[in-house]
Amino acid sequence: MSNALPVQLSAKDFKSDQEVRWCPGCGDYAILAAMQTFLPELGIPRERTVFVSGIGCSSRFPYYLNTYGMHSIHGRAPAIATGLSVSRPDLTVWVVTGDGDALSIGGNHLIHALRRNVNIKILLFNNKIYGLTKGQYSPTSEIGKVTKSTPTGSSDAPFNPISLALGAEASFVARTIDSDRKHLQSVLRQAAEHQGSAFVEIYQNCNIFNDGAFEVLKDPETRDAYLIRLEHGQPITFGKDGSHVVTHPAGSFGLAVSEADQVDAGEVLTHDAHAEDPAYAFALSRLAGPDLRHTPVGVFRSVRRPSYDELVRNQLDAAKAKAGEPEADLAALLNSGDTWTIL
């Protein structure tokens, strides 16, 4: 294998020799297949690609990719990936996590990685349930959810992962769905190209413990009315033949959905993923209700700000520009300050 770019690789090159052990029918298979066919596109050699995961069904992901990988501990993948990314700018580092891993036990690391804008790509597989521990509610489960640990319904209000990421100052925030390979890959592509933290929520079906959680977004009968596809620079329309549009009513902080023929064309909002003010992306993230009606997918926000890695690297480089031979510099350091000599 050569280090020269671009590298010609195929999906096969990214498949590891390990037997995949998710439940038959799990949405993770589709995401894995999408990733394996997408990775060759990047032209990045396998050895420079690293997947770091936490704990949970989704976190088995690294075992199935023939790159470098670490299956770490619950919730801590963003912290470990931060250390790797900061010290190894030559690597492309992906974090694979789930709704429990990233938003419950690892919530702190997620928000801090995003605010620092560490150059890592975080894929949050959201199935709104704890799968590996066999079916307890998660921090994205809807209120009232009946599970093994909430036989009379959950009293916990859920997180909205997109809103959370935006609140944490994320510079790239997107959402996609396991079953739509084309859309999934297009979002992955944009995440991979982003400098800094990229946060991608992937709606993923757990067919064992929470089957059909996102069915309304997939069923041809309902999806047109439920799903809003965001395209940068395009008017936000959805529904059969663009029957519905998103507008920003005067005097309101939020956005609204209207029938297309009820508003002037000029009132239809044009999607601007590069808007500096995160309030717009936040408003988008609040469009969908608990029933998933009006769920936007695509890139909510993609703005450029210096990554943590770059800022750290700049300071290091500036200091190293003044460095001499390391052992001589070390000797000078030890001998600095108030010293005296005994003859």
Q: Using CB under 8 A, list all residues that contact another protein.
A: 1, 3, 16, 18, 45-48, 50, 52, 55, 62-63, 65-73, 76, 79-88, 90-91, 108-109, 112, 312, 315-316, 318-320, 322-323, 326-327, 329-331, 333-335, 337-343
CB of 89 to another protein, least distance (A): 10
Region class of 26: left (phi > 0), else alpha (psi between -120 and 50), else beta: beta
Judged by beta carbon, residue 48 or residue 218, the one nearer another protein is 48
CB of 77 to another protein, least distance (A): 8
Q: Which of 33, 39, 74, 67 is closest to 53 using CA atoms?
A: 74
State which residue, 146 or 332, has the beta carbon closest to another protein: 332
* Tokens at 246, concatenated: 């998103």
Q: Which is nearer to another protein, 250 or 334 (CB)?
A: 334
Q: How far is the CB of 336 from another protein (least distance, A)?
A: 8
* Phi (first) and psi of residue 60, to 5 degrees: -75, -10
Question: What's the closest the beta carbon of residue 3 comes to another protein, in angstroms?
Answer: 7
Choose between 265 and 333: whose C-beta lies nearer to another protein.
Answer: 333
Show the tokens assigned to 49. 């690609």
Residue 308 buriedness (CB in 10 A; 0-12 / 13-18 / 19+): buried
Write down the least CB distance from residue 263 to another protein, Å. 44
Q: Which is nearer to another protein, 4 or 250 (CB)?
A: 4
Structure tokens belonging to residue 180: 């739509």
Is the CB of 260 or the CB of 312 nearer to another protein? 312
Selection from 97, 26, 104, 18 nearest residue 55 by Cα: 97
Compute the least distance from the CB of residue 225 to another protein, in Å. Answer: 41
Nearest by Cα to 92 from 176, 191, 230? 191
53 Cβ contact list (under 8 Å, min separation 6): 59, 60, 61, 62, 69, 70, 71, 72, 77, 95, 96, 97, 101
Query: Judged by CB, which is closer to another protein: 45, or 296?
Result: 45
Taking the least distance from each CB to another protein, the nearer of 87 and 234 is 87
Dihedral-angle region of residue 71 (phi above 0 means left; psi in -120 to 50 means alpha; beta otherwise): beta
Per the CB < 8 A criterion, the answer to whether 56 and 98 are in contact is yes
Query: Whole-number minimum distance, CB 111 to another protein, in Å?
Result: 8
Identify whether the C-beta of residue 225 lies closer than 8 Å to the C-beta of residue 291: no
Min dist CB 115 to another protein, Å, is 9
Give the end-to-end CA distance of the chain in Å, rounded to a whole number: 60
